[in-house]
Amino acid sequence: MTEQPARQFNHWRRYLTGIAYRMLGSVSEAEDVVQDAYLRWHAVDHLSVNDVRAYLTTIISRLCLDHLRGAQRQREVYVGPWLPEPLVETLDAPEDPEALASDVSFALMLALERLSPLERATFLLHDVFGLDFKQVAVSLERSETSCRQLASRARKKLHAARPRYQVATGEHSQLTQRFFEAARSGDVTELKVLLSENATLHTDGGGKRVAARRLIIGAEKISRFFAGLARKSASSSPCWVNPVIANGLPGWLTIEQDGLPQIMMLDIADSRIQALYVVRNPDKLRHIVKN
C-alpha cells in the first residue's frame, strides 16, 4: 500500500475500531475485523473513492455483520451470562475525550445484544456515529425506508438502557472502596446498605472459571452470594489490586489467588449500586493483562 492510502486508513482507525467494538462487544475481535478492513482497503482502486470515511464504514459494517451472525450462534451455547470485553483506563490516566472506553457503557452494550444484527448496525451507524440514512442504506445494502424502520425499532428496545452515571469521583470512589472491602470480607449488613433493592449481579466465567450461571437479582441474594464466596475462600484477598475505570464505570482489576485476572465494575445511581459486572473469563481479559 502506498503511503497516502495507509495514512487515510490510519486516520479513521479509531473510528472504525469504535464501530467494530460496539458491534461485536470484543476488543480482540474488533481489532481482527479492523485489520481485515485494512487488507481490503489495500486492494481498492483508491482513485475511485470519493469519500474515504463512507467507503471504510461500508467495509467495516459488512465485515461486522458477517462476524456478528456467527457470534450469535456461539452465544446461544455460551456458559452463563455473556458480558462484553471490558475497556479499561487507570484512574490516573490523562483525560481523553475521544477514548473509546469513555462512552461505551455495559448497560448499553448488553442492551445492544437484544437487537438483531441489522437493528444494531443501523442504530450504531445513524444514532451513535451520525451517518445519514442514505449512507447507512449503502453500507448495509438496504433501502433508506428499511433502515429508518430498523433504527426506530432499535431505539424503542434501547430506551431504558441509556447511560445514567458519571465517572466515579468523590462519593462514588468512597462507595466503591466500601463495597470492595465488604464483598471480600462477606459483610452482609454493609453490602445491603450499599446495594439498591433491585440490584443485579452479572458474572461471566465463560465456562472456564467458576461464576454464577444466571443473573443474581436483589440486594439480599447478592449479599448472600458474596458472603458465601468469602466463607469458601481460605484467603479472600487478591494477590494484586488496581482501581480502574472500565467502560465508564468504577471498579477494580485484580489478580486472584489462582493467578488469573478478574475485573469488577459497579454501575452507581442515587448513591446506590444498581448493577455489578464481574468478568472472570480469561479470554476476555488478555488485552488488559498484556498491556
Domain annotation for the chain: domains and CATH numbers = 3-79+114-160 (1.20.140.160), 171-289 (3.10.450.50)
Tell me what pLDDT residue 158 has. Answer: 86
21: which DSSP letter? H
Q: In one letter, which amino acid is 102? A: S
pLDDT tens digits, 13-66: 999 999 999 999 999 999 999 999 999 998 898 888 999 999 999 999 999 999
Vertex 246 angle, CA 245 and 252, to 5°: 65
Grid coordinates given for 71: 457470534
Average pLDDT over residues 112-130: 92
Tell me what pLDDT residue 91 has. Answer: 58
CA distances from 82 to 89, 204, 278 (A): 22, 6, 10
pLDDT tens digits, 164-191: 445 445 667 889 999 999 998 899 999 9
Bridge partner residues of 279 (DSSP): 204, 263
The pLDDT mean for the chain works out to 86
